[in-house]
Structure 1
Amino acid sequence: MTQLFQQNNMYKPAGFLYTMLLLAVLSGCASSSAKTENAGMPPAELPVLKVAAVPATTYREYNATLEGKVNVEIRPQVDGYLDKIYVDEGAYVKAGQPLFRINERTYQEQLSNASASLQAAKANEEKAEVEVNRLTPLVQNNVVSDVQLKTANAAYQAAKANVAQAQAMVSNARINLGYTLITAPVSGYIGRIPFKTGSLVGRGETQALTMLSDVNEVYAYFSMSEIDFLQFKNKTEGKTVQDKVKKLPPVELVLADNSVYQEKGRIETIEGQFDKNIGAISFRAVFPNASGLLRSGNTGRVKIPEQFASALLIPQEATFELQDKVFVFTVGDSNKVASKPITVSGKNGSYYFVEKGVQPGERIVYTGLDRLRDGAVIAPQMMSMDSLLKLKPL
């Protein structure tokens, strides 16, 4: 029994060494297999561009609301029922064209009464004048006292005043009668008409009969932040703000469907103060609108061009955004990529113009950014910026 125990103890060290040797072999095989697997995955082939400086025009865009050059509320000047509506909503009318007719019978009667009162006043004036003419020679011949003549003259002057008052009443009645026909004060387009024939309207009505918009020219109102305004003042030539506005180039209008309006406009005025609630200052641009395509209430974006003799050009596909910042992946000497933030000074089409962050000639990854991480190694496939500009021109 003792001998058997000794024999078992002799074999235990040998078994242990065998197990450890087997584990070492297996571990070496696994490590070799992993290295072989990694060696079998080449770096990703991604298109790479060199940042280039080119002469270009960039645009700054600002949201805008459009209004006709003249927006007139059409309101009644007298009370009454609408007898006729001569126009329809959206119709184009010329200045002086009839729009509405208010029942005129009441005002016609007022004019008739005022005219009758005028005739009576004129008759009294003539009577008073006759009396003065009768008494004048009698006073001169001392037949009657001058008191009677003075009394007659006073009555004559009162009669003349009554005539003037009656004439004013006639004029006022005639004006009120004229107000029953409402005409267009300017040429333009008719807005919504909330009233129908037979509606009672008047001067106390809170709602206008309609809105008439003269849109031969339209105003585009937009706002600049304080930073943008300071850049505008620093970059634009001119001693005063008015001089700078005059030297601004023509601006473009992007409509709601992202199409560019065919006519270019010009910036005319700037408000005198900043809006402290939003920290912005308002500009007004004017656009010709002979075709009538633009209407009051339209929205769009005003594009202000900015000329660059040499600007760093980067396609937007080569960028990504993170926490309100724009980044690119630059490619180093060892073909390792690193993300860098850039400062965008403007854009044109599908390109960004970069103010800071990269240098001319620096390589950036064009596409496939979603597969990259900082430090990753790639196999660059160089692309020509010239060829890209031919495919996607500025």
Structure 2
Amino acid sequence: MKRLQKTMITHKPLSYSAGILLLTVFIYGCSSPQAGTPPQGPPQLPVMVVASAPATTYLEFPASLEGKVNVDVRPQVSGYLEKIYVDEGAYVKAGQPLFKIDPKVYAEQLNGASSNQLAAQANVEKAQVEVDRLAPLVASNVVSDVQLKTAKANYEVAKAALAQAKAAVGGARINVGYTLVTAPVSGYIGRIPYKVGALVSNIDAQPLTVLSEVREMYAYFSMSEADFITFKNDFPGKTLEEKLKNAPAVELILADNSTFAQKGRIGMIDGQFDKTTGAITFRAAFPNPDGVLRTGNTGKVRFAREVPAAITIPQEATFEIQDKVLVYTVADSNKVTSRPIHIAGKTANLYFVNDGLKAGEKIVLSGTANLKDGAVITPQPVPADSVLKSKQL
């Protein structure tokens, strides 16, 4: 029994030491690098040398479109809508009937006014007869001159009453004419919110419809103060009127990114900046002979600008922080530094830079997501011509 206890006491320290040894070997094996694995070096990233060359840049501004003439068609008299002669979206010509308001009330008013005119005409004739009767009697000293003067005064009163009656007839006739609502201009009919039998009035907030003349469309867009200064500096002329005359035609980019077939001209600049937005409104006119554009369309007005020496870079080489666009430049030591740039214009894939980069400097083309200022990379040179050509395709 004593021998067994001695054996157990002797065996326990040996087992504990072996465990410690195995644990140490395991930790060392996990923490030591694998044989033959080289240490990681600086990341290999594509780098391009930027160069300047003449280029055509584009500036785009969101625009809303309106027809040259947009008329609210409203009734000038109240009454029940008796007929609607046109349908929504139809093209109508100036003077074409659009709506008919029940004319019965106004026809009766015209009849009453006409009757009053006849009575007034009879009173004029009666007063004239009285003057003609008294005139020779006064000349013969049969009656006093006062009676003739009174008769003449009554005659003038009768004529004034006749003029009032005629005016009332004219007003009633106009109201009867107002019951037929015609198109004030040629154009397309908008929505018609009223139906036959609806009571309409000239004080209604909603018009009968809106008529749009769309053979010429106005595109309204806004420029910031900085863009406005650039616009003024780009075109010759002492005044804004002269600069507008010298400004080139502009294009309209539609909602599906297609380019409208007709080019437009800028014809108006607002007289002041909006205090809320800090922008100023422009208006460009576009011919619309086929009626493709309608009031309410949206799009973008695009300016073409010729830049004699522009630095062109791919958009994918840039990144944004807040409202700034930046690139990573590469120094001789292969260290990268972020730098803000100013965009003078752009295409679908390219940026035109007019400040922040110089010809001959190198920038990182891609893989900038994990870069930080001061990081070292292994540049992989990429010819600028091949990069820019691929982005223009």
TM-score bin (small chain): 0.7 to 0.9
User: For residues 93 and 243 of structure 2, what CA distance do their matches in structure 1 show?
Assistant: 37
Q: CA deviation at 1:370?
A: 3.8
Equivalent runs, 1:106-185 vs 2, <5 Å:
106-185=105-184
* Two-structure CA RMSD over aligned residues (Å): 2.6
Equivalent runs, 1:325-336 vs 2, <5 Å:
325-333=324-332, 335-336=334-335
The aligned residue for residue 78 of structure 1 is 77
Q: CA deviation at 1:331?
A: 3.7
Q: CA deviation at 1:119?
A: 1.4
Q: CA deviation at 1:379?
A: 4.8
Q: CA deviation at 1:148?
A: 2.3
Q: CA deviation at 1:333?
A: 3.9
The aligned residue for residue 296 of structure 2 is 297
Shift in CA distance, 323/130, structure 1 to aligned 2, threshold 3 Å: closer
What code does the residue aligned with 1:383 have? Answer: P
The aligned residue for residue 283 of structure 2 is 284
Equivalent runs, 1:1-150 vs 2, <5 Å:
30=32, 36-38=36-38, 46-150=45-149
User: For residues 316 and 282 of structure 1, what CA distance do their matches in structure 2 show?
Assistant: 29
Contact in 1 for aligned 2:350/2:391 (Cα 8 Å): no
The aligned residue for residue 267 of structure 2 is 268
What code does the residue aligned with 1:100 have? Answer: F
Q: Name which of structure 1's ranges 265-274 and 228-237 shifts more when overlaid on structure 2.
A: 228-237
User: For residues 125 and 352 of structure 1, what CA distance do their matches in structure 2 show?
Assistant: 87
User: For residues 59 and 382 of structure 1, what CA distance do their matches in structure 2 show?
Assistant: 26
The aligned residue for residue 233 of structure 2 is 234
The aligned residue for residue 5 of structure 2 is none
Q: CA deviation at 1:54?
A: 1.9
What code does the residue aligned with 1:194 have? Answer: P
Q: Secondary structure at the match of 1:128?
A: helix
TM-score with structure 1 setting the length = 0.85
What code does the residue aligned with 1:95 have? Answer: A
Q: Secondary structure at the match of 2:173?
A: helix
Aligned length: 367
Shift in CA distance, 121/78, structure 1 to aligned 2, threshold 3 Å: same
User: For residues 47 and 380 of structure 1, what CA distance do their matches in structure 2 show?
Assistant: 5
Q: CA deviation at 1:214?
A: 1.5
1:340-372 CA distance string (max 9 Å, x none): 332212112321011222221323333344465
- Specify every segment of 5 or more residues in structure 1 that has no aligned partner in the other structure, as ranges: 1-18
Q: CA deviation at 1:111?
A: 1.0
Shift in CA distance, 304/325, structure 1 to aligned 2, threshold 3 Å: same
The aligned residue for residue 364 of structure 2 is 365
- Specify every segment of 5 or more residues in structure 2 that has no aligned partner in the other structure, as ranges: 1-20
The aligned residue for residue 306 of structure 2 is 307
What code does the residue aligned with 1:188 have? Answer: G
Q: CA deviation at 1:43?
A: 6.4
The aligned residue for residue 257 of structure 1 is 256
Q: Name which of structure 1's ranges 284-293 and 360-369 shifts more when overlaid on structure 2.
A: 360-369
The aligned residue for residue 191 of structure 2 is 192
User: For residues 195 and 67 of structure 1, what CA distance do their matches in structure 2 show?
Assistant: 24
Q: CA deviation at 1:186?
A: 0.9
Percent of aligned positions that are identical: 59
User: For residues 49 and 262 of structure 1, what CA distance do their matches in structure 2 show?
Assistant: 37
User: For residues 389 and 320 of structure 1, what CA distance do their matches in structure 2 show?
Assistant: 18
What code does the residue aligned with 2:377 have? Answer: V
User: For residues 377 and 284 of structure 1, what CA distance do their matches in structure 2 show?
Assistant: 50
What code does the residue aligned with 1:200 have? Answer: L
The aligned residue for residue 243 of structure 1 is 242
| Residue 378 (str. 1) matches residue 378 (str. 2) | yes
User: For residues 165 and 342 of structure 1, what CA distance do their matches in structure 2 show?
Assistant: 78
User: For residues 371 and 147 of structure 1, what CA distance do their matches in structure 2 show?
Assistant: 114
Q: CA deviation at 1:185?
A: 0.7
Q: Name which of structure 1's ranges 302-311 and 80-89 shifts more when overlaid on structure 2.
A: 302-311
User: For residues 382 and 389 of structure 1, what CA distance do their matches in structure 2 show?
Assistant: 11
Q: Secondary structure at the match of 2:37?
A: helix
Q: Secondary structure at the match of 2:127?
A: helix
Q: Secondary structure at the match of 1:101?
A: strand
Q: Secondary structure at the match of 1:158?
A: helix
The aligned residue for residue 11 of structure 1 is none
Q: CA deviation at 1:221?
A: 1.6
Contact in 2 for aligned 1:336/1:378 (Cα 8 Å): no
Contact in 2 for aligned 1:89/1:193 (Cα 8 Å): yes
Q: Name which of structure 1's ranges 303-312 and 129-138 shifts more when overlaid on structure 2.
A: 129-138
Q: Name which of structure 1's ranges 103-112 and 302-311 shifts more when overlaid on structure 2.
A: 302-311
What code does the residue aligned with 2:340 have? Answer: P
Contact in 2 for aligned 1:115/1:170 (Cα 8 Å): yes
What code does the residue aligned with 2:38 have? Answer: N
User: For residues 357 and 203 of structure 2, what CA distance do their matches in structure 1 show?
Assistant: 66
User: For residues 200 and 338 of structure 2, what CA distance do their matches in structure 1 show?
Assistant: 68
Q: Secondary structure at the match of 1:37?
A: coil
1:274-305 CA distance string (max 9 Å, x none): 21122222222222222222222222222222
User: For residues 166 and 124 of structure 1, what CA distance do their matches in structure 2 show?
Assistant: 12
Q: CA deviation at 1:100?
A: 0.6
User: For residues 376 and 274 of structure 1, what CA distance do their matches in structure 2 show?
Assistant: 47
Contact in 2 for aligned 1:57/1:348 (Cα 8 Å): no
The aligned residue for residue 212 of structure 1 is 211
Extract structure 1 runs of 4+ deviating beyond 6 A. none
Contact in 2 for aligned 1:252/1:260 (Cα 8 Å): yes
TM-score with structure 2 setting the length = 0.85
Q: CA deviation at 1:204?
A: 2.2
User: For residues 356 and 174 of structure 1, what CA distance do their matches in structure 2 show?
Assistant: 71
Q: Name which of structure 1's ranges 184-193 and 221-230 shifts more when overlaid on structure 2.
A: 221-230
Q: Name which of structure 1's ranges 177-186 and 287-296 shifts more when overlaid on structure 2.
A: 287-296
